[in-house]
């Protein structure tokens, strides 16, 4: 069975179109390697106040439902991505890094 992989990287501070393009590219890479990608930019974020904390709550829930995390190259510039990486480590998840 294919592993479900959460994509993590910088979103805040980037123009929406650029962030979306980067996450879609990572999604295509994971699909090509027979993983099931979970793209946080495609999660339902309509049920919260649109604060950073609201986005993180939704995203961290999705991460917890995955088998692994895929860290995009720009993750070190993202507070949220670093939190996601630490949670994945704490949960003993498989960690993959963009080449």
The DSSP bridge partners found for residue 6 are 38, 69
Confidence (pLDDT) at 83: 97
Concatenated DSSP letters of 7-41 = EE---TTS-HHHHHHHHHHHHHHHHHTT-EEE-GG
Taking the whole predicted model, whether its pTM rises above 0.75 is answered as yes
- 47-51: average pLDDT: 89
Q: In order of start, what are the domains of the chain with their CATH numbers?
A: 4-97 (3.40.50.450)
- 19-26: average pLDDT: 96
For residue 9, give the nearest of 81, 97, 83 by alpha carbon: 81
Confidence (pLDDT) at 18: 95
Residue tagged 């998840």 (tokens): 93
């Amino acid at each position: 069975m294919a592993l479900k992989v959460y994509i993590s990287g910088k979103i805040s501070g980037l123009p929406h179109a650029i962030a979306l393009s980067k996450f879609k590219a990572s999604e295509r890479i994971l699909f090509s390697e027979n993983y099931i990608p979970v793209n946080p930019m495609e999660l339902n974020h309509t049920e919260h106040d649109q604060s950073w904390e609201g986005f993180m709550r939704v995203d961290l829930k999705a991460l917890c439902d995955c088998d692994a995390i895929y860290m995009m190259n720009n993750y070190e510039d993202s507070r949220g991505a670093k939190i996601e990486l630490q949670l994945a480590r704490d949960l003993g998840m498989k960690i993959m890094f963009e080449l």
